[in-house]
Every structure is written in structure tokens, then in C-alpha cells.
Structure 1
């Protein structure tokens, strides 16, 4: 058992996604100029926020608004652990399009959409979040925060033409490492508005749409006899382990389990 009072693990190449464990330790009162969105994993996470003592239990989300003083302390001898992401409010505004930041005065939430999104964003700290994937994560967190806060986003006119062009480009180039810059150029639309409109018009984000099209191709290749390594390379994944993680994330089972269920015995 780790006897250290505080241990912090960071996702490689990142400073803003972490896992922390505290035992007989505490953070003094401090503040950030970023959002801190955390998911309590074990124990009881105690903290003072907006003049009141709060307690977060496993499965609850902690939402610390920018510039709000807070601390952090253990409540029981076993301590507590959590995973968290810090998000620059300016990065959120690029996704939101210039509206008031969603605010949750209690600093706690059990809203299913927000908790689910946090689980997805913080589930795998072994790999960094890159441009396309990170924007999708921030966009999803913004949506979850709005739902949890009860605040409605301001409606804006949708650009169906841009969404159609981005969709067609991804269908034609699913094997390539598609970038946000490429989608902007093909759709002639700012990436943040494109992502908002894509989600509202087609029900999913450009990033998830692309991942699901790649997995459609991957399933077809596996059923035709392609190895997992060859399938991963053909469908644009960094390696077989990356392919397996993404497959399980979206399909709910590993490629091997899926193939065994699909192929005749």
C-alpha cells in the first residue's frame, strides 16, 4: 500500500488531466483561473466552497468555477481519490460561442450527463487528448455543465451546408488523419461552430462520427479475415492497443470478443 500522504499522476504530455490520492493531508485554501472538473473515485472528498463545507462521494462530480476559493481535505483515515481535468475558460468559450459560463453554486453534481462525460474524458490517462479528440471532450463537458446548471445555451442559426460538406469529407477520407484545420477548410466554417451545428443537426460530434465510421470499416475488415494489427493500421489507429481501447469504448467489448460472437463456431 502506498504510504505517501499525497500522490498525483498526470496523463503523459498533459498538465490538466490528473489522478490524485490524499491520506491524512489537505490543500490549503486557493483558487484557479480555470474550471476544475473532478470525479471522486473513492472515499469522501471534503472541501469548503462558497462559505459551506461540502462532501463528495464516489461517483459524484466536483465543479469548481474559475476564481472561486476552495480547499481540499480528507474526512476519514482512508483518505480519498479523484480524477480531474482543468479547462481554460477561454477554451470553453471557443466551444460555447460567447455566452455566460455555466455555474453550479454548490460545487457538486450527480447529473447523469455531466458524470457520464467526465467518466469518458477521465477514463484513460495513459494517452494524451489531442486536438480533434480534445475539442470533442471540451464540447461535451460544456454541454454537460449546461444541463447540470439548468442554464440554456443561446440559440444560433445552423449551417447545414457546412455540416454536409464536413460529413462528406470524413466519409471520403476516413482512413486519413483528419484534422480540425482540414474540416474548417472543406466546410468553410469555424471549427467550433461546425462542431456545435454538427451535434445539433446529426446528433453526434464530428469526432465521434469519424470514429464510428472507422469502426464500421474495422468490423468489415475483421470479418473478412484481416488481423487486428492490420485492421488497426488500415483504419488509422496508432497501434493495436489504441484500436482495442477505442473499439471497446464505442462497441462495449474488445475486437476479439466481438469477432468471436460474430463468427460461426
Structure 2
């Protein structure tokens, strides 16, 4: 094996997120009992899957169903780069509520929602995911896979009061590393139904609701002239880069740019 480089970042729980740079190497046929969801970043991923040779190009997602035999190899001198997350199908099934596991024909998807969700889950490998963030990613990936595979979600009534109790709890505890199990206990509703209802009633996920509350606090601190590092710490972000990325995604500019604009 020549010029083989692999970096790994451990995700919350038992799931693994990592980035791999592979050149002049190949994986022999193998399988595993978890989902593998990968984004091809550069080069061409080539693999045999269910009796057919597949190729994934940059910007496409590779979705390997549990216990499906596959291999992998480079097809150009440059090799390829990808980022990947593995997810226990039991965790995904809890989000799906007893429906069959989604299957992506050919193992490759260009579905917009699925790609956006993967990009979010794999954007930063320098830090572990928060507990609620990890649960949020698994839930969103399960729903995106359902959509990409053509499955339809079963309609069910929403529990407004449970959702609103969870909302109030988040408003009082946004600075902590929350998890769905806490929200389940507070709301009195199953955490996966609560996660679905939260999105339906409030238009966002519990984790993104937490992040927005932290960002609202950060606006006040920045307006007071507090430093970015101090603001990131006091607003419960992992570090300054995590704070900057979340701020830019929410407001379209970095916190430093926003702070400078206030002084003009």
C-alpha cells in the first residue's frame, strides 16, 4: 500500500465518523452490520455492490445497506477522498418507528436532502458531536434515507403539550449538553415521536433550537464588546471555530464581521 492516509474522529455513542484519503489500495469484499453513509469529496470511488460495479463521483453519496457485501478500490492515480459515518440500524429503526430499513438502489444517491444532511453531520471531524446533535443527525439521516428510497412516512397526530414542555425546558437549559432522553422525561413523550413532533410544530429540530438560543445569547455578548473566544465559551459552543461556523450558517456572516458592522 502506497501513499495511504487515514484520519479518524470518533462520533458520540458507538458510531464512527472519519475522513479517508486512499491511493493505490483496495478493500477486499466484506460486509458489516451497520449502515455506512459516505460523501465522495475528490476522485472516483469504485466498488462492487449487489453484483454490479458502481462509481461515485465528487458530490455524490455512497449508501451501503447493513450486511451487504462490497469492496472498494481506486481507479485513478490520484486516488479518492471521502468522509463517512456508520450508524447502527437499531438506532435508525427507533427513528423510523418499525418500518423497513430504507434501501438505496445501486448504493449511490444524489438526493438533495440526504446530501445536505450528510454534509451537516460530517462538516467538522475535529470535535465529538454533542449528544443531542448526534441524535439529531441520526434522526434526520433516517428521514432523508426514507425519502431517497421512495418510502412514505405514516401520518400520526402530534402532541402539542409535550412538545411545548420540551421547548420550555430547552429555553431554561440551552447552555447544557442536552439529550433526547432528558426531553423525553420532561415532556412525558417518547423521544422519537417528540423529535418528529418538534419539527412538525416548531419547524426545526430540538438540537437546532438549542443552537439558535445559544446564538441569540452570543449576539448580546458581541454587542457588549466581548471577545469571540469568551463568547463561544459562555454560549456553550465547543470552541471558537464551532461558534463561527454556526453563526455564519445562521446569519450569513462571521461573528467578527457582525461585530465590526456594529461599530460602523
- TM-score (ref. length: structure 1): 0.92
**Runs of 4+ deviating beyond 4 Å:** 12-15
Q: What's 2:187 paired with?
A: 187
Instruction: Give secondary structure in 2 for the equivalent of 1:141.
Output: helix
| 232-241 or 134-143, larger mean C-alpha shift | 232-241
2:4 is aligned with 1:6: yes
Mapped partners of 2:154, 2:209: distance in 1:
24
Q: What's 1:201 paired with?
A: 201
Check conservation: 1:46, 1:56, Cα contact below 8 A: yes
2:141 is aligned with 1:141: yes
Q: Deviations over 1:143-181 (max 9, x none)?
A: 211121111122222211111111111123323443333
How many Å apart are 1:186 and its aligned residue? 1.5
Mapped partners of 1:238, 1:29: distance in 2:
38
Structure 2, unmatched stretches of 5+, are none
Q: Deviations over 1:52-77 (max 9, x none)?
A: 11110000000111111111011111
Q: Deviations over 1:66-97 (max 9, x none)?
A: 11111101111111111111100001112222
| 185-194 or 113-122, larger mean C-alpha shift | 185-194
Number of matched pairs: 262
Distance change in 2, residues 1:123/1:177 (3 Å)? closer
Mapped partners of 1:17, 1:111: distance in 2:
21
Mapped partners of 1:202, 1:45: distance in 2:
39
Mapped partners of 1:133, 1:106: distance in 2:
29
Q: What's 2:218 paired with?
A: 218
How many Å apart are 1:13 and its aligned residue? 6.3
Instruction: Give secondary structure in 2 for the equivalent of 1:106.
Output: helix
Mapped partners of 1:228, 1:12: distance in 2:
27
| 182-191 or 34-43, larger mean C-alpha shift | 182-191
Mapped partners of 1:29, 1:256: distance in 2:
49
2:35 is aligned with 1:35: yes
- TM-score (ref. length: structure 2): 0.92
Q: What's 2:51 paired with?
A: 51
Mapped partners of 1:181, 1:91: distance in 2:
13
How many Å apart are 1:38 and its aligned residue? 0.4
Mapped partners of 2:3, 2:177: distance in 1:
42
Q: Deviations over 1:124-161 (max 9, x none)?
A: 11011231110001111112111211111222222111
Q: What's 2:109 paired with?
A: 109
Check conservation: 2:10, 2:17, Cα contact below 8 A: no
Q: What's 2:171 paired with?
A: 171
